[in-house]
Structure 1
Amino acid sequence: MLLAVVGFLMLFVMMFLLFKGKTIPLVVFITVPVIAAFIAGFSVPEVVEFIQKGITKTSPMAVLFIFSVTFFGLMSDAGMFDAVVDKLVAKAGTNVVSIAVVTALVAIFSHLDGATVTTVLVTVPAFLPLYRKLNIRPQLLLLIVGAGMGVMNLLPWGGPVARASTVLGMDPNKLWHVMIPVQILGIVTTIAIAVLAAMREVKYHGAGVITHSEEVAVDEVEKKDDKENLKRPKLLFFNFALTAGVLALLLIDIFPTYFVFMIGCCVALIVNYPDPKEQKRRVKAHAPAALDVSAVMLSAGIMVGVLGKSGMLEAMTKPLLVIIPSALASHLHILLGTVALPLGTMLGTDSYFYGLMPLAIEVGKNYQITGLTMAVAMMIGKNLALFISPLVPATFLGIGLADIELKDHLKYSFGWLWATGMVMLVFAVMIGMIGL
């Protein structure tokens, strides 16, 4: 009983600290579980064993994140993303539906790196002048960007998949393979939503009428000289081929996921930036983004180790089994999948994946719900909550760039994104990915 009480208190304290922003996740995941383990009566050697086993479990995901962020950062430096964005934006013209579809394609493509802030900075400043001059409300722009990011965040180097893999003790690439059919549907649904929402803008809000007489300028953002100097236009096709090769190796699943990105980084550095000094500068430039999440993943290993190896998680499920009606508990994954988007909006990413998900998985096991099934159901809606959660910094970056209020963004996007999540969840049930 003591173990269960300590476990619930530990999760409560962790979620409180994360939700209130009292300290960073790294500090929470290292200190709180260790203190909880000692309070529960475990000895120093036992706690050390929990820590070692937990870190061993999460370290491959941390390495993956370091090198995937660096690889796509290098591709961005070399101008691969800019080339695609510029061509798509130029072809959009002044047709509202076409602009919405191109926005979706750019958001989907630019989120290949899994970096939310980068995607927002690539899409919103590029399209916002066009939206304004064609009298298209900026809420549509943020909706499409949010849907595109939410769907693409199901990639193995995306934060949610990496976190869920950590909880499951599963290779993120294998988890992604399971999610591919749902992700493909999500991409199609994102484009469909862009079309439908754009048609509503034209019909009900007068979108498409140019409000200024001057020629529409698509990209009014000045590019800095140092950024231009990093671009490698002559190597554009090589970089596309390299990226395609990396993605192909991930699909074939011959090598460990993190090793594929290690090799990709080496090739990208050698070909695009042969000068060793520039190579060092490029790695340093992307180190903050790479270290941020990977450090959290490593520290989360301590929490995973304490929860899983101490017997705490099993002890916590017993009172929950008594409280939750069996008729409801047997469909717990469907219930949590249905409310994943509002839950994901209210809970921070780390609270959701490292606090709620492990407990839900453990309860589900008692009703023949596999951990993988529970994780897949909970991930779909949560991913789509990415760009409407007030706990995600990129949300405020987006509404700040678009100059709209959070309440207006939520009011416009919430229903569309929830509907997208439900379509993906129902599809996952229909194809047998999620059992009833």
Structure 2
Amino acid sequence: MLSIIGLLTIVAIVALLISNKITPIVALVLVPIVAAFVAGFSFAEIGVFFNDGISDVMSVVIMFIFAILFFGIMQDVGLFDPLINKMIEVSKGNVIAVAVGTVLIAAVAQLDGSGASTFLITIPALLPLYKRLKMNPYLLLLLVGTSASIMNMLPWAGPLGRTAAVLGMEVTELWRPLIKVQIIGLVLLVGLAVLLAIREKRLIAKRGDFNEKLFEDAAAPVDGAQDAASMKAAALRRPKLLWLNTLLALAVIGVLVWGIVPAGFTFMIGVSVALPLNYPNMKDQMERIKDHAPNALLMAAIILAAGSFLGILNGTLMLDSIATDLVTILPAFVIPYLHLIIGFFGVPFDLLLSTDAYYFALFPIVEQVAATAGVASLSTAYAMIIGNIIGTFVSPFSPALWLALGLAGLEMGRHIRYSLLIMWGFSIVLLVISIFMGVI
């Protein structure tokens, strides 16, 4: 009975998340409570399960809030502007250089862990180059999306935070083995960008409108007065403090990788230093916090709701019951490889499940079932992360992707047709390499 209730709970949550009728917070909080009542648990017992679940994710919540604030401030002060502008300057006028530059620019822009800000930075800057070189704008979206997905393995990005919340572990511990996967992934993506650019160059030549001369100020926006948002962004820049901000960002990332103090505390210190350093006026400091607080609080609220969901499903033993019963149903030879099978189909899952549904509903079941065959929880986590994360920005459930499509004037269906197989193939290659490296 617990297995049936648990499965119905997960199916209901997945269906609600897919429907986009309600927020993940509502689905993750209310459905498990109802399920627990149906299973015969009292409100007092549910309260205990809630406390256990929340305590498991609290460190992740703190890290998310202050990481988003820190990198938001670094974007405000223009920390990444010189590097991005230099890449645009070097790459303009050459199809292959533009493609490679796109990968690198997107990787830098994604350092704040926000797909929306990455698309806001890269697409307006690079789309004029693609148009003037007659390059396919869907190639731009493919390269930016794949590069951002690789960088999305950072601990302050969504997938690792969700996984760490499920496993009840420190997110930086989960991230460290993935650093080498990210490096290899970026190197492979640069190679893929070169191959796709060569193909694109041939297509342009075939159409007869290829022109590889350097374009003066190719990435400059069209003539016209700056709008209010641009003027506000310019006022927040701190070019004279570039090197101090660079040292601060490197110090924060260095301490994070070192692991000497908790990630949340590291980012808390970083925010506390960055605010007075760049904005001595208290009013300006509060404005920066208010500007980035919505993103930080939204992710924190989702993680807390997930903690409640997982606390109830674990406390009621629904997940254990589902795993036990699935073991008796699945063929014995499949169970030790279940995490690899799910990882292999990770990108197509992005077309069926939202990120929340994948990590909060599917992952706990796969982890429990695979554990019965002696598969380590971390191995299951890495297989499902690496197998799925490359498809983040080919999914119609990604709000940031809809923003990107709007910025570039492109269509979701054509983007999926252009990018899905390439992203899936890239994901499988990265999954296989991770297996040979011993990460999985």
Q: Is the 8 A contact 1:57 1:169 kept in 2?
A: yes
Further displaced range: 314-323 or 421-430: 314-323
Q: Corresponding residue for 2:110? A: 111
| Post-superposition CA distance 1:350-389 (Å, at most 9, x none) | 0000000000000001111111111100001221111110
One-letter amino acid of the structure 1 residue matched with residue 101 of structure 2: V
Change (3 A) 1:209 1:319: same
Among 334, 342, 346, which residue is 1:340 paired with?
346
1:247 to 242, 253, 266: 253
Instruction: Name the TM-score, length of structure 2 as normaliser.
Output: 0.95
Q: Offset of 1:198 from its aligned partner?
A: 0.6
Gaps of at least 5 residues in structure 1 are none
Aligned mates of 1:432, 1:86 — CA distance in 2: 38
**Residues in 1 aligned to 2:185 and 2:351: alpha-carbon distance in whole angstroms:** 19
Deviations 1:385-420 (A, max 9, x none): 111101111112212222222222112211221122
SS at match of 2:438: coil
Does the 8 A contact of 2:94 with 2:212 survive in 1?
Answer: no
Superposed displacement of residue 29, structure 1: 1.1
Separation of aligned partners in 2, 1:51 and 1:425: 35
Describe how 1:7-406 pairs up with structure 2 within 5 A. 7-206=6-205, 209-210=210-211, 215=216, 217-220=218-221, 222=226, 224-406=230-412
Q: Which amino acid aligns with 2:86?
A: K
Distance 1:201 1:27, change over 3 A: same
User: What is the aligned residue count?
Assistant: 433
Query: What displacement does 1:213 show?
Result: 12
Decide which moves more: 277-286 or 308-317. 308-317
Q: Is residue 345–residue 382 contact of structure 1 (8 Å, CA) maintained in 2?
A: no
1: CA distance between counterparts of 2:251 and 2:192? 31
What secondary structure is seen at the aligned counterpart in 2 of 1:325? coil
- Using the alignment, how far apart are the partners of 1:274 and 1:215 within structure 2? 38
Alpha-carbon shift at residue 237 of structure 1 (Å): 0.9
CA contact (8 A) 2:390 2:424 kept: yes
**Cα pair 2:93 2:212 within 8 Å, conserved:** no
Cα deviation per residue 1:295-336 (whole Å; 9 max; x = unaligned)?
100111110101112211111112211221111112111111
Q: Distance in 2 between matches of 1:78 and 1:113?
A: 13
1:133-176 deviation line (CA, Å, top 9, x unaligned): 11100011001101111100000101000000011111110000
Note the C-alpha offset of 1:216.
5.4
TM-score (norm: length of structure 1): 0.96
Structure 2 alignment gaps of length 5 or more:
none
Root-mean-square deviation (Å): 1.6
